Copies of this chain bind each other. A is one copy, B any other.
Amino acid sequence: MDEFGLIATYFTRPARHAAVRLGVGDDAAVLAASGQEHVLTTDTLVAGVHFPDAAPGFDVGYKALAVNASDLAAMGARPLGFLLSLALPAIDETWLGGFRDGLFRLADELAMDLIGGDTVHGALTITITAIGEVPPGEALTRAGARAGDRIYVSGLLGEAALGFLMRAGRVTLPEEFAPQVLARLDRPRPRIAEGQALRGIASAAIDVSDGLVADLGHLTHASGVGAALDLRRLPLSDAYDAAFTTVGYDAALTFGDDYELVFTVPPERLTALHGVAAKVPGGFHYIGDIVAEPGLVFRGGPAGYAPATGGYAHFRS
């Protein structure tokens, strides 16, 4: 099978969005002019870096799309489709079938069309570019937080960290918690509905991929403000509580891979926030406040608490 056969066999399906004027199979895809703004983001997953070499294809396909869709969620965008670039060391039909199934499982849930891509020979590397749409001017950005805004997160923190640490044998958890934390690590749910519900309510938003501290840091830096986090308010699960003596607050603050939204809300929009909070799966958890002074301070924890690292970084100097 050459790359053309591979695309025809595994990755060609009819598009569901009328906006997709032309999908897989030409030199490029064409999206109709809809009066909406297009939102575009790209993220790469590398075997041995972002996932273990032996990870099942299903999980890799699912997560590769999930991390990109999470960026659309953080913009308040409605997902439309994605392009897939797949570097493969060889054609392993079992792995590819699983990859395709995981990818399309989430694509179906999010109503995203595969509209184009490339397949090449190389070390296993998956790059997805996701495309969504927002009404003109309504995209959520990182830059709008102001002192006095409240900081919220869309669901539990540190679950993926627990899954990773449990699989690595670095924490021991009661068996009942294993499925939940591994699912959060392997198949994160992008907060698509939440992101769209926050349009017109959140003053700034970002998704938590590198860890709450790092990503909130990007948001406050872009907004020219600081943040005070209340450690007692962090949404932590019973599983997290069971591991707390080992992982402390650090796993929830700096491991990343949470793919929750962290966002800020001005006081005058709190009523609107409460109006939509009940309608979304994860709810919204108040975890701190935006302050004028740049930097991040912690409240409610041990005196002088600070996490041991700032968050995930690919290249440390």
A106 to B22, CA, bound (A): 27
> Does chain B have a CB within 8 A of A129?
yes
B119 touches A26 (CB 8 A): no
Q: Which residues of B contact A2 (CB under 8 A)?
A: 313-317
A225 to B132, CA, bound (A): 36
Contact across chains for B27 and A71 when beta carbons are under 8 A apart:
yes
A122 adjacent to chain B (CB < 8 Å): yes
Q: Which residue on B lies nearest to A261, using beta carbons?
A: B27
The answer on a CB contact under 8 Å between B222 and A3 is no
Q: Is A272's CB within 8 Å of the partner chain B?
A: no
Which of B45, B74, B83 lies in contact with A27, CB distance below 8 A?
A: B74
Which chain B residues lie closer than 8 Å to A28 at the CB level? 39-41, 71-72, 74-75, 77, 130, 132, 139
Q: Does A21 sit within 8 A of B, measured CB to CB?
A: yes
Within 8 A of B (CB), among A6-51: 6, 21-22, 25-46, 48-50
Q: Are B134 and A26 in contact (CB under 8 A)?
A: no
User: Of B29, B71, B84, which is within 8 A of A39 by CB?
Assistant: B29
A40 touches B46 (CB 8 A): no
* A120 and B46 alpha carbons, distance in the complex (Å): 8
Contacts of A85 in B (CB 8 A): 42-44, 85, 127
Residues in chain A within 8 A of chain B (CB atoms) = 1-6, 21-22, 25-46, 48-50, 71-72, 74-75, 77, 83-85, 87-88, 90-91, 115-123, 125, 127, 129-132, 134, 136, 139, 141-143, 205-207, 218, 222, 313-317
Pairs A–B under 8 Å by Cβ, sample size 25: A5-B317, A26-B75, A26-B141, A26-B142, A26-B222, A27-B71, A27-B74, A27-B142, A28-B72, A28-B139, A31-B40, A32-B37, A32-B136, A33-B33, A33-B35, A42-B84, A42-B116, A44-B127, A49-B120, A50-B120, A83-B129, A85-B127, A91-B315, A119-B315, A120-B314
Extra contacts, 10 of them, besides A28-B139, A38-B38 (Cβ < 8 A), are A26-B142, A27-B205, A28-B72, A30-B139, A40-B115, A41-B116, A44-B85, A45-B120, A46-B122, A129-B129
